[in-house]
Amino acid sequence: MNEHADVPYIEQWYRRFATSKLAGQSDLYRSWALGVADDTELLRLLCELPREKRQPHLVFAVSRLLGAPEGEYRQWQQWMLAHWPRVRAEALVRTTQTNEPGRCAAILPLLAQIDGPIALLEVGTSAGLCLYPDRYSYDYVVDRAAGPVTLRLDPADGPSEVVLRCEVTGNAPLPTAMPDIVWRAGIDLAPLDVTDPADVRWLQMLVGPEQQDRRDRIAAAAQIVRQDPPHLVAGDVTAALAAVATSAPADATLVVLVVGVLVYLGPQQRSAFTEALAELADYGARWISLEDAPVFPAMAEAFDENPAPRPGLFPLTLDGDPVAWCSPHGQSIAWIAEP
């Protein structure tokens, strides 16, 4: 068996990563990815990792976590070769867990439409930073005929250290008050603990080197969550969904958040999860999704009729019905649903 048979596959993976996934986000990661794609020695080392651990984002984050120089490719490559056993061992125990609290800006208008009190359950929750939309402040910049207008919404107890800015077009029903969230829980294969500085640092390493504002936001959100940690369950999102849902208060409306997780599931896993979600919906649960593409077949036609106004946007849905196109980290909302 050729232990380096996957070299061409990994090469193309890193080349695609450099030319599409990181456009406009990280010049450093782009240069590293292109360097790896042309580096036979490093490509052969990456063959030692399981396929799911070869992700460029994961490998780069692990290297930075362990102290790799954040400079030109040749310097980084020499560090990788010298420290490969450590990189390999760390990559084997890490997963990509982008926990961006900015996504709450896209989620909040939908939560505000749901009768409370709300029991919020997130699948693929990571550290649970998106389970606290009512603890952050929001600046919604609304596109009006006379010019943009900023609408501020703060938590009930006053302005938050985390302020999320979101540009809004269309007739989005922006909230005027925070939802009443009385219970929070999350499911993840490897949940992170906001009370552990090492886990918070890992979350920050998963953000591109140039995006200091996002790292600062994660740190500030973690400080808020640390004061009232959610109930996080380690397990498969489909297998654990029903059991965790049953622990929600009976007098609250269960709302399931599906944010950036289904893209990591295979077709059969995605189908099984959809069925489990439908069973909860039959008993009155609501669900909100913000995913990389319409992953539910029933949504495809509706989004075809309402194409994204620009590339790179994610579809936002409520109970499977399309309502908006959003930036992946909640920076913008383009509302398409009827008011």
**Is a pLDDT exceeding 60 seen at residue 77?**
yes
| Residue 293 pLDDT class (50, 70, 90 cuts) | low
Average pLDDT over residues 90-116: 93
Confidence at residue 339, expressed as pLDDT on a 0 to 100 scale: 61
Other Cβ atoms less than 10 A from the Cβ of 160: the count is 18
Kindly report which listed range (13-22, 31-40, 132-141, 292-301) carries the lowest average pLDDT score.
292-301
Overall size of the chain counted in residues: 339
| Residue 21 pLDDT class (50, 70, 90 cuts) | low
Terminal C-alpha separation, the chain: 60
Confidence at residue 96, expressed as pLDDT on a 0 to 100 scale: 86
The residues facing 150 across adjacent strands are 141
300's CB contacts (< 8 A; 6+ apart) are: 294
The domain locations on the chain are: 7-92, 101-335
Average pLDDT over residues 4-15: 92
- Specify whether the CB–CB gap between 129 and 218 falls below 8 A: yes
Kindly report which listed range (14-28, 183-197, 223-237, 298-312) carries the lowest average pLDDT score.
298-312
- Specify whether the CB–CB gap between 219 and 204 falls below 8 A: yes
CATH code that applies to domain 101-335: 3.40.50
The residues facing 138 across adjacent strands are 153, 164
| Residue 270 pLDDT class (50, 70, 90 cuts) | confident
286-290 and 118-123 as β-strands: parallel, antiparallel, unpaired? unpaired
308 DSSP 8-state letter: -
Confidence at residue 144, expressed as pLDDT on a 0 to 100 scale: 83
Model pTM above 0.85: yes
Confidence at residue 2, expressed as pLDDT on a 0 to 100 scale: 61
Mean pLDDT of the chain: 91
249's CB contacts (< 8 A; 6+ apart) are: 117, 119, 182, 183
pLDDT digits (tens, 9 = 90+) for 303-339: 777 777 787 788 899 998 889 999 989 999 999 877 6
CA dist 200 to 187, 194, 207, 216, Å? 18, 6, 12, 11
Kindly report which listed range (41-55, 66-80, 292-306, 317-331) carries the lowest average pLDDT score.
292-306
Sheet hosting strand 118-123, strand order edge to edge: 149-153, 137-142, 163-169, 332-335, 321-326, 314-318, 286-290, 253-259, 118-123, 181-188, 231-234
The C-alpha atoms of residue 280 and residue 144 are separated, in whole angstroms, by 39
pLDDT digits (tens, 9 = 90+) for 145-200: 778 899 999 999 999 999 999 999 998 999 999 999 999 999 998 999 999 999 99
Confidence at residue 23, expressed as pLDDT on a 0 to 100 scale: 47
Nearest to 123 by CA among 242, 256, 244: 256
Confidence at residue 296, expressed as pLDDT on a 0 to 100 scale: 58
User: Which residue has better confidence, 20 or 290?
Assistant: 290
pLDDT digits (tens, 9 = 90+) for 104-123: 999 999 999 999 899 999 99
Dihedral sign, CA of 67, 71, 73, 74?
A: negative
| Residue 300 pLDDT class (50, 70, 90 cuts) | low
Region label for 108, one of left (φ > 0), alpha (ψ between -120 and 50) or beta (otherwise): alpha
Confidence at residue 24, expressed as pLDDT on a 0 to 100 scale: 54
**Helical spans, DSSP H, in the chain:** 7-16, 27-37, 40-46, 56-65, 73-82, 84-92, 104-111, 197-205, 212-226, 237-245, 267-282, 297-305
Confidence at residue 297, expressed as pLDDT on a 0 to 100 scale: 57
- Specify whether the CB–CB gap between 72 and 31 falls below 8 A: yes
**At 200, phi and psi to the nearest 5?**
-65, -40
The C-alpha atoms of residue 134 and residue 156 are separated, in whole angstroms, by 8
**Is a pLDDT exceeding 60 seen at residue 8?**
yes
The residues facing 290 across adjacent strands are 259, 316
Nearest to 314 by CA among 303, 85, 75: 303
